[in-house]
Structures are given as structure tokens and as C-alpha cells.
Structure 1
Amino acid sequence: MQKKLTHIGEILESVLAGLRPAKDTEMTRIWSLWPQAVGETISRETKPAAFRNSTLIVHVSCSAWLQHLTFMKQQMMQDINKALQNDLVKEIRFKIASLHN
């Protein structure tokens, strides 16, 4: 008899459901949707890092990308919310950080 494998995202979602508000746990989907939501080019230079109180913190590879993305913030929020099929992200804050933790 084979055991059914469970995706880590499902496990995290169920654990977080008891600890965080529903919209925060729903937001965990952004990690798997990130390249689709923002496009391959941007996803190579960024990664979602945290979400709290409708604000998404995004780590960015360098200051040039941070400046570029600041101008694209409104469109990014629309694209992310569209990918999530829910208006969860009301604000994005960019932070320069290592993308290879």
C-alpha cells in the first residue's frame, strides 16, 4: 500500500490556520504563485518575505530593482491580488535582502 504524499504548503496552511487570521493563511499561496503573479523577470529579482495587516513585504536583489519596482507597486498589487483571486494585498514594502536563504 502506497502512502499519499502531502505537499508542504498544505501542511503549513493547516498549521497556520489555527495561529493566524484566515486572510493571512490564504496569503501563503503567494509563494507558489509568485512567478505567475509578477512574471519571470521580476520573480528572479524578488521574493515574497512576509505578510501582515494587508502589507506584503518583498525582498529585492538590489537598489536598482527596488527603485524600479517602487514605480510598479500599484500594478504589482493588482497582479498579485488577481493571481490570489482576492484583494488581500493593500500595500507592498520593498526591502533589499538576500534572495538565497
Structure 2
Amino acid sequence: MRALLLGIALAVIGCVVLPVSAYFLDEIETSPGSTGGLIVPVHLALTALIGAGLGTAVLSRDHSTRRRALTGAGLGLLGAVVGLVVMYLLLSGALVVG
């Protein structure tokens, strides 16, 4: 049950982290030093790190810390993919909210 709730929380976090990382990394001008190509890797890394931290804290203590962290990181990456898909659908107009 805890893993399911953690997965749902990380899917929501994955949807929120993508626009936040794009806000800080996207630049209007495409210059040689532009960081626009780092948005998705930073998004994946942040959600994996957040997932590892939450996985260690939330998941059952029956397993080792390493296993809980890896499970959380995997769920974080899954949440990042959900965030990417949701943002793609929102931006393409296939998913209309409201």
C-alpha cells in the first residue's frame, strides 16, 4: 500500500518538477551556452533523487536501505515519465483540461 501511495505521489511530483526545471533552465535565446537541452536530464535526475529519499523514508523497514532507495528511485523515474507524457499531451492539445 505504501509503494502505491509513493508511486502516486511521485507521479504528481514528476508532473510538477518538469515545468519548474524548464523555468530555470530554459532560455529565450538559443545561444552557444544555452541550457535548454538539460531540461529532461535534470527532470529525470531530480525525480530519481526525490524518489530515493522518499523511498528510504516511506517504504517498509523490512528491506535494506539500499533496496528502499533503489525502489524509490525507480518509482521516481516512472513518475518522471508520467510527467513527460502528461506535459506532452497538454502542450499538443490532445489532453484538454477545463
State TM-score, norm by structure 1: 0.32
> Which protein has the larger Cα radius of gyration, Structure 1 or Structure 2?
2
Higher relative contact order (CA closer than 8 Å, sequence separation 6+): 2
When you count helix as a share of all residues, which structure comes out higher?
Answer: 2
State TM-score, norm by structure 2: 0.33
